[in-house]
Structure 1
Amino acid sequence: MTTSPAGPVLGLDFGTTNSVAAIAGDDSTPELVGFDGPASSGPVFRSALCFWQDAAARGGLAVEAGPWAIAEYLSYPQDSRFLQSFKSVAASASFDTASIFTKRYRFEELGRLFLDKLVAHAGAPLAERPRRVVVGRPVEYAGGRPDPVIARQRYDAMFAGFGTEIHYVYEPIGAAFSYASRLTEPATLLVADFGGGTSDFSVVKVAEPGAARRCVPLGHAGIGIAGDRFDYRIIDRLVLPMLGKGGLYRSFDKLLEIPGGHFRDFADWSRLALMRNRRTLDQLRRLQQSAVDGAAIGRMIAVIENELGYPLYDAVGQLKRALSEGDAAHFHFAGAGLEIEAEVTRAEFEGWIAEDVAAVEETVDRALVAAGVQERAIDRVFLTGGTSLTPAIRALFARRFGEAAIMSGDELTSIAHGLALIAQEEDMTPWAA
């Protein structure tokens, strides 16, 4: 049994796109930690970092995080390095360090910088180190061949000293705890958590209010497909053809298709900013010289050199949001000599992501099998995470479980709230992942 003396506890949803924290005492209701900064006011702290050169800063590099990182980037984009979705490489054995100007950072070093800024901008609520921190983790990490052992080692190094105790809990279990606090009757609950990097599912048996153990996890499954993958599909269809994808290059007396490696990196938010290094840019310039359409490769180089990853992300996000609300939307991106205008229908977008939605549905089936329950045994489906607002995702669950069973709300904050509730439990053993 893992128990602790009295003191504040913290639930932290360290997300691919956004991070949220909730703090509580032993018996108090958890409260979301708020941030008041440029272009943002509330509990959602963007999972992003911005670096810039500053002789007065330690090591010659200054750094900001969250909405402050976005503000710094927007002020001086070409003089900045803007990193987003860096959680996506947590379980990647191929990721060693990120090259930022003249320094190299390991994942855990980026993570500690991020946490330091999150704490600083939270102010008084996090002025005292929590005696217990419960951190959400995905059921399955993002990336090709994710290694959970590597991810755990990096998380341990990142969160060392953040609290007296550090525990990890599956993110959908946090959401289940939050939703269960609203239930007034027993239920078998399927929690579907759709974030930026992963989609995770837990089946939870919820007992009646006042029960000694309110939530009993029955089974889990996850997949590294979520909002960032949907972004990838948009970039692949609308942007990469303008940057040379599908084009040819000359190799001696042959014309060959340009390999896809640089295009895959460009369409991955966690890797796009890291392409701004001498080795990658030299490779692209050599490719530009041999490409049949050298101007297209030149446009890719210009986007990278001008640090336009965030505006591109913003344009893609605006398109997704518009397609969640209407049957068609306009995509617009302009910068560094590249201008793209396109009309996209919701039907087209759903065709682009159909393969991903099918993989998500297979993962739901795996969660039910792991839990040992039939589809008809699910009383409620709680959808959470920003990507849960995608109509194709909601339609999947409505078809499988019925519209009346689907519940949602607090899409960006439910996990942190639930993790703080779990942190108040006397015994952490049943929840540790």
Structure 2
Amino acid sequence: MSQACGVDFGTSNSTVGWHQANRPALLTLEQDKLTLPSVVFFNAEDEEVSYGRAALSNYLAGYEGRLMRSMKSLLGTSLMDGQTEVLGKSIAFRDLLGQFIGELKHRAETSAGQQFDYAVLGRPVHFIDDNKNADRIAQNTLEDIALETGFKEVHFQFEPIAAAFDYESRITKEELVLVADIGGGTSDFSLVRLSPERSHVLDRSADILSNGGIHIGGTDFDKYLSLAHIMPLLGLGGKLSNLTDIPSSYYYNLATWHTINQVYTQKVGRELADVYRDIQNPEYRMRFDRLINLVEDKDGHWLAIKAEEAKILLSDKDMVTLQLERLRSKQASTACSLTIEQTGLQSAIGHLSVSIANAVSAVIDDAGIRPDQVDTVFFTGGSSGVRGLRQQIAAIVPNARNVEGDLFGSIGAGLGLDAARRFA
């Protein structure tokens, strides 16, 4: 049996694929689930570590501790060299990533009933936009971490190319395919010529017409939806006594998954108290009091989950009402709720959608083909279901048919195929 697997370490969700005759392409990683949310929770009460859905469940149940999510977003940034406090001890962010990837490897091996010594890891087209040095550092860091978890050899494959391999396993004739992989942290695109006859060729470089991407994904949609509609409930947009704006940095940190914990320091707590005293408007004093209570209760991740929930629901609905029962103020004891309409989502993320569409056009231009020559758009990645975004991409290639892959599993399955070919 092959000792090779494909690892899709995602910003929001992770999968592990392999290629065995008459076996599913993805391995179960949490009970009967094929995905493992890329989440770690350090339970301070029981001094235990949990992962995935169990981590989110423990956090939302109110256990005291530290939740870590969107860890992949640290790769290639200066934060990767830093540390954070977990269960009273300092731990390097690099070690946190290693802990999660090691758990991912362990669960995959348990599910497969065998050891995996070799792996193809997925990577975005750009870890960091317009910075080749940071991109190289990000891949090297991820490679070092993977080797430290026990893999003997690893290779990398662009995530949209891996998704293309998964789609190619199901087609019957040659197609020119635009793979649109819109994940939690990045939106990546590849224009690839696929065919059943070429599927077993190891070197496919001649079939890849162009690659491109942008560091925008589902967590960015969550962030700007939160800033536009949720954070004003906590005082964003209000004024101090000198008519300057209430500092926005607290809200931006709370709306960004990997910086939420930065508002939980004693220094920020003192700053919030000072700002509160400088707000004269009673309405905004009440709203800012909600912010102070949210930070004291360390409910920032809960609020981010609520923003994500609204985004997901608005993929299918025209309107959603969020129950925000943890937003409380001494001046207002009534439960807080918020209604967001589809137009509100589109307004909040419109500038992101335009940037993503521009990235698609650039990939087509780089390939030197006309948009009407594209046969198929293959959508994958959990955030490709956001309403309006898919239509905007499809409008660029008017003659292409739209095909939806496994939004969370196509990349992992394709990486498993690639691993089987490389390490055969």
Fold conserved between structures, TM > 0.5:
yes
Name the structure 1 match of 2:375. 379
Partners of 1:47 and 1:197 lie apart in 2 by 12
Specify the code of the residue in structure 2 equivalent to 1:88.
Answer: S
Name the structure 2 match of 1:316. 307
Contact 1:22 1:31 (C-alpha < 8 Å) held by counterparts: yes
Specify the code of the residue in structure 1 equivalent to 2:135.
Answer: P
SS of the residue 2:396 aligns to: helix
> Sequence identity of aligned pairs in percent?
26
Specify the code of the residue in structure 1 equivalent to 2:408.
Answer: L
Q: How does 1:138-287 map to 2 (within 5 A)?
A: 138-141=124-127, 147-161=134-148, 162-209=150-197, 213=201, 215=204, 216-250=207-241, 254-287=242-275
CA RMSD of aligned residues (A): 2.6
1:356 and 2:352 are equivalent in the alignment: yes
> Residues 66 and 94 (structure 1 numbering): CA distance in 2 closer, same or farther, change over 3 Å?
closer
More deviation, 167-176/283-292: 283-292
Name the structure 1 match of 2:100. 114
Contact 2:27 2:34 (C-alpha < 8 Å) held by counterparts: yes
SS of the residue 2:116 aligns to: coil
Q: Which residues of structure 2 form unaligned runs of 5+?
A: 330-334
What do the CA deviations read for 1:319-341 (whole angstroms, capped 9, x no partner)?
22322112222233220516542
Name the structure 1 match of 2:7. 12
Q: How does 1:74-89 map to 2 (within 5 A)?
A: 74-77=60-63, 79-89=64-74
> Residues 322 and 74 (structure 1 numbering): CA distance in 2 closer, same or farther, change over 3 Å?
closer
What do the CA deviations read for 1:359-401 (whole angstroms, capped 9, x no partner)?
0011001211232322122111101011111121121133222
TM-score, normalised by the number of residues in structure 2: 0.88
Specify the code of the residue in structure 2 equivalent to 1:33.
Answer: L
Partners of 2:130 and 2:287 lie apart in 1 by 28
Name the structure 2 match of 1:99. 85
Specify the code of the residue in structure 2 equivalent to 1:93.
Answer: S
Aligned-pair distance for 1:54? Answer: 5.9
> Residues 110 and 247 (structure 1 numbering): CA distance in 2 closer, same or farther, change over 3 Å?
same
Contact 1:98 1:274 (C-alpha < 8 Å) held by counterparts: no
Contact 2:6 2:120 (C-alpha < 8 Å) held by counterparts: yes
More deviation, 12-21/259-268: 259-268
What do the CA deviations read for 1:34-74 (whole angstroms, capped 9, x no partner)?
0344xxx310100001012368xxxxx53221112123223
Aligned-pair distance for 1:152? Answer: 2.2
TM-score, normalised by the number of residues in structure 1: 0.86
Contact 1:180 1:206 (C-alpha < 8 Å) held by counterparts: yes
> Residues 143 and 401 (structure 1 numbering): CA distance in 2 closer, same or farther, change over 3 Å?
closer
Name the structure 1 match of 2:406. 410
> Residues 229 and 210 (structure 1 numbering): CA distance in 2 closer, same or farther, change over 3 Å?
closer
> Residues 107 and 312 (structure 1 numbering): CA distance in 2 closer, same or farther, change over 3 Å?
same
Aligned-pair distance for 1:265? Answer: 0.7
Name the structure 2 match of 1:58. none
Contact 2:27 2:111 (C-alpha < 8 Å) held by counterparts: yes
Structure having the larger proportion of residues in strand:
1
